Amino acid sequence: MSDGAGPSTPSRKRSRWDIDEENDQLEQPQPQPVKRRSKTKSTKTSPAPEQAQHPAATHTELQRTSTVHKRPPHSVFVPPRTLHPPLMPSRSVYCYERLNSIEEGSYGVVFRARDKVTGDIVALKKLKLDEEKNGFPITALREINSLMVCKHENVVGIREVVVGDTLTQVFIVMDFIEHDLKTLLTTMPAPFLQSEVKTLMLQLLSAVAHCHERWILHRDLKTSNLLMNNRGTIKVADFGLARRYGDPVGVGGLTQLVVTLWYRAPEILLGATKYSTAIDMWSVGCIFAELLLKEPLFLAKGEIELLSMIFKLLGPPTPHSWPEYQTLPLAKSISLPPPQLPQLRQKFPHITAAGVDLMSRLLTYDPEMRISAVDALKHPYFSESPLPKHPDLFSSFPSAAAGEKRRKPYESPSAPVRAADHKLLTDFDP
Amino acid sequence: MSTSLYPLASLPQIEKTPSREDGIPGDLEEDLRAYGCKLIHEAGILLKQKQVAVATAQILFQRFWFATSMKQFGIGDIGMGALYLASKLEECPVRIRDLVNVYDLLLQRKAHIRAQAVASSLASTSSSTPSWSELKYTPMSYFGNTFYDLKEAVVVAEMQILKRLGFNLTVVLPYNTLVNYLRVLGLTSREDVCTKAWGYLNDAPSVEARLQTPVYALYSVPTIVCAAILLTTRHLGIALPSAPENCWWELFDAEWEDLSSVCGWIMRLYRERSLEDHTRVMGMVAKKGVRQWLEEHRSVGGEVR
């Protein structure tokens, strides 16, 4: 917790763009711990979009906390008792006014709603509890807990959990974010610029690093689970498959029915029961490729087809590239194609050598060798030209989730086919 | 994990718990809390459940009674619900049927002991301590109503815990903090210190580990750990710098008033209790018992006033 890997991206960015403010903060005694603490607090209590009023809030908060706790300098790890939240019962769902439904999935329905008191627009996710025989579903518990544990600039913020009239109505209240990256990618006229891809990747990686640091595996990273607001910030969402992992990993067994097919790491495809943070990193690699290509990297219809597509792009695994390959349960039932060189360079002709290097480190066969989120954040790709673009300079888009109509400047030709394809394939999702 | 802020009871909740609001005296509430925790602990052992899940269950259980009165829910049901929920949280779920069976066995044992105690107090032959060794336990039938009623009770209790605690189930256990603090203080070489301090964390009279006091819902983990170390070192006569300006607990950001209060909570568990006090709580595992007690004592209290 001491290395502060979590919020590294936002603070780095702020330092580049708001130089005066950073200086101000440095003058305060022990800026690091207080800043982080007040950040969590302000995201919880301040309802307004954080990006806009964040600097001011941080500043006043900072002064207050530093004057109060001057006497004994408290350790970061022992926050004063007053910072602990009180024991509060769930509020009623009637504190919110329903606006429109955003989407419906296997987990339940998501509504857009307005807080009746503050007027904030939020997303309400209704959990499906009707057919539960074993009490409150463990998956929903994991989701709520993961969201609460993983509070981060680039993780969708959970505000509270509210209940309806009966015990079967439970809603997770989250910050409303205008877009998901999947819809954005299929509808935007031109792909993201290199500088934009870097910003998005840095945000994604810092969120994933934050989750992994807190012992949470997301297990379903994909572009449709990455939300993006109109201020160039992406938020990792849908922790419906997330769970805690331990050291050693996989005690008690982990399910293989995780991660949407296209983003599923080869070790899960081959039946590994002990997997870890590396599976999320593979998904990050697939997302990286998708941001560059504007379409999913592996558009496979089944697991076998996916494996052969992976083998084709990266070359089949060798004892050198993946020593444990033969020990995996399903490895024997798969015949490897003849050896062949990786095709990454040909697939991505327009990115730099550093970009290809990062991609190949994310899409590394051997989970042990695959790059971690913390290391990926330090990859040279992010420090070479073009540098990551500041989020505020991103263009904004009409939000489908908020029911906004987009003007059609010109037809994006392949979208309908792909959208249909996508729907067909997500039906396979566990 | 240390930066995650777990909820603690607020000052009004501590000053007047919902149970006391309903006329349940403080010492009875304390006894019932301790007894509920003891049941959770014993059920955990019978279920071969991990200690982390049991400890988490006990902390959730303690928090619950800062949000709800014991007149509304029984300590037995909420204990079951807490253990069921904590087992899911710690990724080691238990089957409802196993949980229900174990609680049923435990409660039958307690009923047996209570009956024995009543009988022996009538006969005034208090030579033999009551035990459940002669109990003939009859398991409930597989599809019987008892099972379905208890199962329903578990599900309802779980949901009530979730709802009344606002779904904030962040629990931080004290064990790793204790290990670290003992290391800092250079006490890890003394095995008796480690064992005893560990015991005080669980409020354990040597054998049975249990977190019976509400301190985990009242104070932060560092304070509780410091209190456990304080009790241990005082007990074993180990000198640590304790004069003002140079107090060892300040190293861990604990304050003296909080420490002495936590120590008070823990030590109160060890006070001499009459057999009557012990058996009294056994009759109040369900809310029915609590309500009955309130009825009886309200009339008495009314006369006195």
Kindly state whether residues A251 and A105 are assigned to the same domain: no
Collect all residues of chain B within an 8 Å Cβ-Cβ radius of residue A163: 163
Which of A96-110, A409-423, B31-45, B224-238 shows the lowest per-residue confidence on average (mean pLDDT)? A409-423
Contact B280, B273 (CB under 8 A): no
Say yes or no: A44 contacts chain B, CB-CB below 8 A: no
**Domain range spanning residue B244?**
175-268
B13–A161: do the CB atoms touch at under 8 Å? Answer: no
Place of tokens 């607020």: B10
Q: Which residue has the higher pLDDT, A323 or A36?
A: A323
pLDDT band for position A20 (50/70/90)?
Answer: very low
Collect all residues of chain A within an 8 Å Cβ-Cβ radius of residue B3: 1, 36, 76-77, 79
Kindly state whether residues A141 and A218 are assigned to the same domain: no
Kindly state whether residues B260 and B279 are assigned to the same domain: no
Two structure tokens written together for A340: 């062949």
Collect all residues of chain B within an 8 Å Cβ-Cβ radius of residue A214: 1, 4
- Give yes or no: A220 in active site: yes
Kindly state whether residues B94 and B220 are assigned to the same domain: no
* B201, part of any domain: yes
Collect all residues of chain A within an 8 Å Cβ-Cβ radius of residue B63: 87
A132 → chain B, closest CA residue: B155
pLDDT score at B234: 86
* A238, part of any domain: yes
Q: Find the CATH number of the domain harbouring A170.
A: 3.30.200.20
* B75, part of any domain: yes
B252–A78: do the CB atoms touch at under 8 Å? Answer: yes
Kindly state whether residues B203 and B90 are assigned to the same domain: no
In chain A, how many domains are there? 2
Of A1, A87, A135, the CB nearest to B10: A87
Kindly state whether residues A137 and A254 are assigned to the same domain: no
* A73, part of any domain: no
pLDDT score at A21: 40
Residue A427 clears pLDDT 60, i.e. is over it:
no
Q: Output the CA–CA distances (angstroms, integers) from residue A105 to A16, A141, A410, B35, in the order listed.
A: 40, 18, 30, 44
Q: Find the CATH number of the domain harbouring A311.
A: 1.10.510.10
Collect all residues of chain A within an 8 Å Cβ-Cβ radius of residue B9: 86-87
A141–B88: do the CB atoms touch at under 8 Å? Answer: yes
Which of residues A152, A175, A198 is at a domain's end? A175
Kindly state whether residues A197 and A278 are assigned to the same domain: yes
B163–A149: do the CB atoms touch at under 8 Å? Answer: no
Kindly state whether residues B28 and B90 are assigned to the same domain: yes
Kindly state whether residues A98 and A185 are assigned to the same domain: no
Instruction: Give me the catalytic one of A220, A247, A421, A429.
Output: A220
Contact B64, B78 (CB under 8 A): yes
State how far residue A83 is from chain B, nearest Cα, in angstroms. Answer: 8
Kindly state whether residues A249 and A149 are assigned to the same domain: no
Kindly state whether residues B252 and B285 are assigned to the same domain: no
Say yes or no: B78 contacts chain A, CB-CB below 8 A: no
How does the average pLDDT of chain A come out, rounded?
Answer: 78
Kindly state whether residues A321 and A382 are assigned to the same domain: yes
**Domain range spanning residue A154?**
93-175
Kindly state whether residues A402 and A383 are assigned to the same domain: yes
pLDDT tens figures, A208-250: 999 999 889 999 999 989 999 888 899 999 888 888 887 666 6
A88–B1: do the CB atoms touch at under 8 Å? Answer: no
Q: Which residue has the higher pLDDT, A253 or A311?
A: A311
A213 → chain B, closest CA residue: B1
Q: Find the CATH number of the domain harbouring B196.
A: 1.10.472
Residue A58 clears pLDDT 60, i.e. is over it:
no
* A34, part of any domain: no
Which of residues A113, A142, A175 is at a domain's end? A175
* B4, part of any domain: no
Kindly state whether residues B261 and B284 are assigned to the same domain: no
Say yes or no: A338 contacts chain B, CB-CB below 8 A: no
Kindly state whether residues B103 and B242 are assigned to the same domain: no
In chain B, how many domains are there? 2
Residue A337 clears pLDDT 90, i.e. is over it:
no
A129 → chain B, closest CA residue: B159
pLDDT score at B300: 57
Which of residues A175, A207, A228 is at a domain's end? A175
* B284, part of any domain: yes
Kindly state whether residues A234 and A152 are assigned to the same domain: no
Mutate to test the interface with A, among B10, B91, B215 (most CBs of A within 10 A): B91
* B164, part of any domain: yes
* B109, part of any domain: yes
Kindly state whether residues B54 and B110 are assigned to the same domain: yes
Residues 29-58 of B with CB under 8 A from A: none
Number of Cβ pairs < 8 A linking chain A and chain B:
115
Of A36, A84, A134, the CB nearest to B8: A84
Kindly state whether residues B41 and B120 are assigned to the same domain: yes
Kindly state whether residues A277 and A154 are assigned to the same domain: no
Kindly state whether residues B23 and B150 are assigned to the same domain: yes
* A357, part of any domain: yes
Of A144, A149, A215, the CB nearest to B167: A144
pLDDT tens figures, A142-198: 999 999 888 899 999 999 999 988 878 899 999 998 888 888 888 888 888 899 999
Kindly state whether residues A140 and A235 are assigned to the same domain: no
A89–B164: do the CB atoms touch at under 8 Å? Answer: yes
Residue B303 clears pLDDT 70, i.e. is over it:
no
* B57, part of any domain: yes
pLDDT tens figures, B201-211: 776 443 333 46
Which of A35-39, A108-112, B75-79, B278-282 shows the lowest per-residue confidence on average (mean pLDDT)? A35-39
B167–A134: do the CB atoms touch at under 8 Å? Answer: no
Contact A102, A108 (CB under 8 A): no
* B5, part of any domain: no
Kindly state whether residues B43 and B182 are assigned to the same domain: no
pLDDT band for position B247 (50/70/90)?
Answer: confident
B7–A81: do the CB atoms touch at under 8 Å? Answer: no
**Nearest in space to A108 (alpha carbons), one of A124, A92, A121:** A124
Kindly state whether residues B154 and B214 are assigned to the same domain: no
Kindly state whether residues A205 and A321 are assigned to the same domain: yes
